[in-house]
Amino acid sequence: MRVHVADHPLITHKLTVLRDRETPSPTFRALAEELVTLLAYEATRDVHVVEVPVTTPVAETTGLAIATPRPLVVPILRAGLGMLEGMVKLLPTAEVGFLGMVRNEETLQPDIYAERLPDDLSDRQCFVLDPMLATGGSLIAAIDYLLARGAKDVTAVCLLAAPEGLKAVEEATAGRDVTVVLGAVDSHLDENGFIIPGLGDAGDRLYGVV
């Protein structure tokens, strides 16, 4: 597994505002999108491309276009939905599939409650969006799901991760083509499986308490 942790003052600044418990939902949503666009730049570094001819006003040359099959962006509902617009802004030709997952807050086990994805993901590059990588259970389940359907590789874009969860994803995906791009790696998980210092419950902060 490849891991890339962002190291840029703008990203840390925006994350700092997200962490602040006084930041209201509208600002939180806007910042989550901006952060994804910045992280997407790194996440798409190995996106498949093909050479194409292009005629400029003064010459013939070659450039690059996104290859087919088109990349698939998969936000993990609910909280990952807050990252979708920021990602497709940078990758407008991507297709979008959805996975609905909820973590049981007692057992910390993930449950898939909704799925809307192409049946065949052969040769697809998949980009999973979820702001929080806590125990890693949700991301491991999402990656397993996509690879089982034939995805070629999976890149996860997360705003925050706990070291425990990152290690769990690394162990569970050994030998497979998985990349994780992160805004920051925090200190640890608390006894409730929350990222410390973190930002609280990302879904609730984006969309309200359920």
Ligand X SMILES: O=P(O)(O)OC[C@H]1O[C@H](OP(=O)(O)OP(=O)(O)O)[C@H](O)[C@@H]1O
Ligand Y SMILES: O=c1cc[nH]c(=O)[nH]1
* Contacts by residues 150-153 (CB-CB < 8 Å, ≥ 24 positions apart): 150/120, 150/121, 150/122, 150/123, 150/124, 151/72, 151/121, 151/124, 151/125, 151/126, 152/121, 152/122, 152/123, 152/124, 152/125, 152/177, 153/125, 153/126, 153/177, 153/178, 153/179
Choose the stretch contacting Mg ion; rule: CB under 5 A; options: 28-36, 157-165, 186-194, 198-206: 198-206
Is 204 assigned a catalytic role?
Answer: yes
Q: Which residue is nearest to Mg ion (CB)?
A: 203
The CB-of-138 to Mg ion minimum distance in angstroms stands at 10
User: What residues make contact with ligand Y under the rule CB under 6 A?
Assistant: 79, 132, 134, 193-195, 198, 201-203
Q: Is 200 in the site for ligand X (CB under 6 A)?
A: no
By a kind-dependent CB cut-off of 5 to 8 A, residue 110 interacts, out of ligand Y, Mg ion, ligand X, none, with: ligand X
Is 201 assigned a catalytic role?
Answer: yes
Is 25 annotated for ligand binding? no
Catalytic residue chosen out of the listed positions 107, 111, 123, 190: 107
Is 165 annotated for ligand binding? no
Q: Is 172 in the site for ligand X (CB under 6 A)?
A: no
Is 16 assigned a catalytic role?
Answer: no
Is 131 annotated for ligand binding? yes
Q: Is 201 in the site for Mg ion (CB under 5 A)?
A: yes
Is 103 assigned a catalytic role?
Answer: yes
Backbone φ and ψ of 122, nearest 5°? -55, 130
Supply 138's token pair.
């949700």
Is 175 annotated for ligand binding? no
Supply 137's token pair.
């259970």
Contact code string over 54-83 relative to ligand X, x by CB under 6 A: ----------------------x-xx----
Residues in CB range of 206: below 8 A, 6 or more apart:
25, 28, 29, 32, 78, 79, 81, 82
**Catalytic site positions:** 103, 107, 201, 204
